Structure 1
Amino acid sequence: MPPDHPGTDRTRDHPRDGGLSVVGRDASAAPTPAELLGRVALGDEDAFSRLYDETSSLLFTLVRRVVRDVAMSEEVLQEVFVEIWKQATRFDPRRGSAHGWMCTIAHRRAVDTVRASDASRRRDSDEGLRSIAEKVVDVQEEGIMRVESHRVATAMRSLTPVQADAIRLAYFGGYSHREVASLLGIPVGTAKTRIRDGMIVLRDRLGVTA
């Protein structure tokens, strides 16, 4: 559905044609995406709803190929249509197709989202590495003493993916064993085992004695 825009009039009985010529076309034919965009530029919410229905599947597929995550892709798709609503006046059919114009917006928004997400993960990882380097990390009475963060990062690559996920959540994310289990969808005992086994590997790689 179109975003809320106070003062926007619905034109159900007398829809605006956005100044687009229909000469040479059957007046009863369904409007093209370009014609719908022209009406959207004039604030026609009905045209926007129709444009969403006709193009959302295409744009979602494009976004998901870049973003991968389904829930995040759905959020990006909504942002894409908000931008389409706001920027519709900039669409020029002489410079390209409506689908091409919308796909460009979708791809740019998807790439920006991935870049922002990657940057956020890098910040979180850096903070976690600094944290583990600055204090004693204790798991069931076993810990790793102060070590240089780049050594920890190297040692983390020795872990299995499931061990690394559990340790990142427990120490870089600050979650309890129970919270780690809930986030990963595993029993608490399994979460504890993954963390314990991973810490044993880290201690071995870093040469830290218990």
Structure 2
Amino acid sequence: MTDATKGDVLPTEALAPEGDIPGLVRIPAPETPAPEPPAEPEAPEVAEPVRLRVPAIGVDTDLLHLGLNDDGSLAVPPREGPDNLKASWYDGSPRAGEVGPTVLAGHIDSKAGPSVFYRLGELEPGDEVLVDRADGTTATFVVDTSERYPKDDFPTRRVYGQTPDAQVRLITCGGVFDRDSGHYQDNTVVYGHLVDG
């Protein structure tokens, strides 16, 4: 709207600061949609993890790609046979190098003896965790900490929850072996963050 004497555009609130002006018909201002945020460039797709190397504890293994069991628990490599000695990547977690926790699991042992993560609890801050990807690249993580939790008090959100950067979780059993149940009472979880790749 304009003031006939000046030809200026008046802000809507200047028309009726104390109330309505007789005979004035208010027309609501059109809703202006908020500007779209600039599109972030898409990050190139990260290749699937295929191999795990942890030099400090002598691990060098192919990675199985596993999901969840029917009960919603994390699937792990078979307890018997040649795949017992392999680690697995939880394919519902980010690929190594993507934002979030890349989850890798493996057995501590089996009836046949030590398995892939037998020495996982020996890892110390600063030890390297190398995850080779299908495209020939490698994501290098360093260990931040290693924790052991009772299985009935497992910190699901801390282990699997979203993180602000690329991280890794290595998970195995630990603590006391319960012969009646055939399972260990605890889980060992190693936490690390991406330093290269």
- Whether the TM-score (by the shorter chain) exceeds 0.5 is no
**More strand per residue: 1 or 2?**
2
* TM-score of the two chains, using structure 1 as the length reference: 0.20
TM-score when scaled to structure 2? 0.21
The structure with the greater share of residues assigned to helix is 1
Structure number with higher relative contact order (C-alpha < 8 Å, ≥ 6 residues apart) = 2
